[in-house]
Amino acid sequence: MDEEQRRVVYRYLIARVGLRKADLPPLSDLEYQMKHGFDRLTGGVVVNRNATQPITADDQDPAFYAAVVNGHAEAINITSLDLEQTRNFVLHNKGSLPPPFGRSDSDVTGPTDDMPDVGHQLTSRLDPGMAAKKAQWGSYPPDISDAAAG
Q: Give the pLDDT score at 127.
A: 54
Higher pLDDT, 30 or 127: 30
The DSSP code sequence of 29-63 is: HHHHHHHTT-SB-TTSEEE-TTSSS-EEEESS-HH
Question: How many other C-beta atoms are found inside a 10 Å radius of the C-beta of residue 72?
Answer: 13
Q: Give the pLDDT score at 53.
A: 92
The domain ranges of the chain are: 3-102+119-136
Q: Give the pLDDT score at 59.
A: 96
Q: Give the pLDDT score at 140.
A: 46
Mean pLDDT of 81-95: 94
Higher pLDDT, 139 or 79: 79
Q: Give the pLDDT score at 22.
A: 87
**Cα first-last separation, the chain:** 35
Q: Give residue 131's pLDDT band: very low, low, confident or very high (50, 70, 90).
A: low
Percent of the chain past pLDDT 90, that is, above it, reads 55
Query: What are 107-127's pLDDT values in tens digits?
Result: 444 444 454 554 544 444 445
